[in-house]
Structure 1
Amino acid sequence: MLTLIKQAECYSPKRLGKQDVLIAGTKIIAIEADINLDTNVACEVIDGSDLIVAPGFVDSLVHISGGGGEAGFASRTPEMNLTDATIAGITTVVGALGTDDVSRTHSDLIAKAKGLKQEGLNAFCHTGSYHLPAKTLGESISHDIMYVDEVIGLGEVAISDHRGRQITAQQLAEVAAESRTAGLLSGKRGTVSIHVGSGKAHVNLLHDVANNTDVPLSQFYPTHMNRNAELLTAGIEFCRAGGTIDFTTSTTEYDLANGELAAAEALAYCLDKGVNVAQLTMSSDGHASLPIYNEQNELVGFEVGTELSLLSSFQQAVKQFNVPIEKALSAITINPARILGLNKGELKQNRDADVVLLRQSDLTVHSVWCNGKKMIEDSQIVANGFFNSAN
């Protein structure tokens, strides 16, 4: 079947104005001002006059197989379901292990990514975890990146965090160089995802590596950079030195009340300070454990991240903080895709048909296609995962 979206406000994520978008099979085959078809082939025509058509969202950090729980074994978080992503407009996820790389394994992580792909989602993952030496599926970081299709990089390696291994610049440089080289050999980016905690060193370790070795700053992709104002300031300096930073959309009321900035606010603040939007992204940290620590690093609360927070933060950026739609979209589509080396996040002829329709009135999700397969229609789930039923 062909699908023709007529006269929607089109963002590629660059604003293109009113356009028609034609989907055939798994691809976008045309984006034009006016498409008229003369064919006997079945074609669904969608009136997009009150809608925005945009790339499916790229969520660059999701704990797709569940995360460890800092409140003990009973607090290990559940795995993500297909519809957790699709109802939020997400068509591409990148999974990772975090604090727990003992009860959570790469075998399970990669199997989950393969399962999500079987259900129709674009799913990738990182090898490694918070800790170094890096745990891997195969014999090395290089092996995983080069021989496992779903593995695109390393991470999320923890710095400035009491739960990390307190690694040195030399240790980080070595694994970053290995990830980079493996990426070059396999046509991948080999990005190193960096979990940044609330420690006072911020991202100094990344600067040390870039200043004293041949590993460029652009090899690192630090996330959680909206933890507090001081870290955000360090993040702006990181961008000015040539890096890119990511803001986490899942949060807690406690953290917001104790210095964390909402991802949408952090995005708007950086843009106001002159940071190039291409250096800024947002990710959900979906299904991660969100432990709440006091100043003595004592656990005082616990919540779980949600993929839906990515959509909510996009809406908040536009409606509350006046970020232009194309810039807010760039932060959750083409920017993370480019940083991770994925051919995703852009509406373009002959690209994969990862498409989201948003209502112009309130930016809620109307419909979602992933590789041409309709996942959401008129805000209702039409494609379910193997174990989750329609809701």
Structure 2
Amino acid sequence: MSLAHLPPAPLIALRNAHLFAPEDRGVAHLLLGGGRVLWIGARWNDLPADFGVETLDLEGRRLIPGLIDGHVHVTGGGGEAGFRTRVPALPLSRYTGAGITTVIGLLGTDDVARSPRELLATIHALREKGLSAFGYSGGYHLPPATLTGSLRGDLVFLEPLIGVGELAISDHRSSQPTLDELLRVASDAHVAGLMTGKAGVVHLHLGDGERGLELVRQALDQSELPARVFQPTHVNRRRALFGEALALARRGVPMDVTAFPVEEGEDAWSAADAFLRWREAGAPMDRLTVSSDAGGCLPCFDADGRVCGMDVGAPGALLETLAELLARGVPLPEALPVFTSNVARALRLAGKGRVAVGGDADLLCLDEAGGVHHLIARGRVHWRGARPVLAGTFETAGAPA
């Protein structure tokens, strides 16, 4: 990752943290350096002053892994109702101020005016600002938008790209892929993953269509591809679709729910409701993740397919969902994996999603209300004492997120 615009990651001592790694480790002290966690222990001995260690006393506050947002429109989304509805890209502090230290960028409905070049450039820009950023090749439609001319080439030769997505199915905005087309895309992703050690997944946008996850069921029944290659998202947008997701998760398919707003009486589950229903159903908890759809347009359509309203996904939806789960009695160690370790495992992000010696120094210290007190990404302090200290190129460091 390019760090051309940032100084080397310093030595940082985190004292008196109540560490959730995500399991509860009790009160601990940590030493960070070079962007990594160097040491975790129960007793602290002061280091020589010549070491130049910056010390942050967390005073017993909760310290958790930085959140991983697996579905982010880093270039901005939208465009379904004309060019005026294109959502602008979010600035750095919107992510870090929401506790996010890793984002997975993608193209959505607009994979024409929004290009793979723009996506890759934005991923590199976020990396230069200190965030961990990766992305998907392609977009909603087939043939896919690529940089090298093929999905397999993109994944093999472009390091930040770890899979394909968000390929749309069961949606009037999709290119209506057939089973054979889906299998070819999934095969390209899987083989590229084998060649590179990347995730090699197909991140599938699920629309409101009645076909739901039928294509994924057929893919499992009629191919040799591993179930983990198919990673559907938005599966909480219809209650019946969520029921299909529960069944496929038991066959090994990871499922992603979106932390979008849900109105009372709407035929959908909120991300928190989905988590609780997943747990109540006894579905595999390690196959569930939560993402925000940050920067993406959240449109509604009338019977003729015209946009009748829209909202924009917000990075803060992840922390809001975590706070709701805690308020509804879910212990923090049980709630955290869907935002951290489960995402890292599904996307094969080495060093991410856990607080461990040798792992990446991506850490979030929560304040008493569950907001961001300190945020450390790749070993650098981005937020200190609930205030931003690192900002994007075109935003002011002291501005609120």
**For the residues of structure 2 that align with 1:39 and 1:295, how far apart are their CA atoms?**
69
Which segment is superposed worse, 376-385 or 8-17?
8-17
Residue equivalent to 2:277: 269
CA contact (8 A) 1:56 1:356 kept: yes
CA contact (8 A) 1:53 1:355 kept: yes
Which among 335, 345, 348 is matched to residue 342 of structure 2? 335
Counterpart of 2:166, as a letter, is E
**For the residues of structure 2 that align with 1:307 and 1:335, how far apart are their CA atoms?**
18
CA contact (8 A) 2:30 2:39 kept: yes
**Dislocated runs of 4+, deviation >3 Å:** 294-298
**For the residues of structure 2 that align with 1:39 and 1:98, how far apart are their CA atoms?**
51
Residue equivalent to 2:97: 87
Residue 296 of structure 1: CA displacement? 5.2
CA contact (8 A) 2:27 2:60 kept: no
Residue 35 of structure 1: CA displacement? 2.2
CA contact (8 A) 1:59 1:332 kept: yes
Residue equivalent to 1:48: 58
User: How do 1:67-106 and structure 2 match up within 5 A?
Assistant: 67-106=77-116
Residue 260 of structure 1: CA displacement? 2.0
Are residue 30 (structure 1) and residue 39 (structure 2) matched? yes
Q: TM-score, normalised by structure 1?
A: 0.96
User: How do 1:199-214 and structure 2 match up within 5 A?
Assistant: 199-214=209-224
Which among 200, 203, 207 is matched to residue 197 of structure 1? 207
Residue 257 of structure 1: CA displacement? 4.3
**For the residues of structure 2 that align with 1:295 and 1:48, how far apart are their CA atoms?**
53
* Unaligned residue ranges in structure 1 (runs of 5+): none
Which among 167, 174, 186 is matched to residue 177 of structure 2? 167
**For the residues of structure 2 that align with 1:318 and 1:378, how far apart are their CA atoms?**
22
Counterpart of 1:164, as a letter, is S
Residue 271 of structure 1 aligns to a residue in which SS? helix
User: How do 1:1-391 and structure 2 match up within 5 A?
Assistant: 1-40=10-49, 41-251=51-261, 253=263, 257-294=265-302, 297-319=305-327, 321-343=328-350, 344-359=352-367, 361-390=368-397, 391=399
**For the residues of structure 2 that align with 1:296 and 1:75, how far apart are their CA atoms?**
19
Residue 288 of structure 1: CA displacement? 0.3
**For the residues of structure 1 that align with 2:262 and 2:273, how far apart are their CA atoms?**
15
User: How far does the alpha carbon of each residue in 1:251-291 deviate from its partner, in whole angstroms, 9 at most, with x for none?
Assistant: 364xx542221111111110111122211110010000110
Residue 163 of structure 1: CA displacement? 0.6
Q: TM-score, normalised by structure 2?
A: 0.94
**For the residues of structure 2 that align with 1:140 and 1:198, how far apart are their CA atoms?**
29
Residue 310 of structure 1: CA displacement? 1.2
**For the residues of structure 1 that align with 2:386 and 2:284, how far apart are their CA atoms?**
33
Counterpart of 2:147, as a letter, is L
Work out the percentage of aligned pairs sharing the same amino acid: 35
Residue 93 of structure 1: CA displacement? 0.2
Q: Please, what is the CA RMSD of the aligned residues?
A: 1.4
**For the residues of structure 1 that align with 2:111 and 2:172, how far apart are their CA atoms?**
16
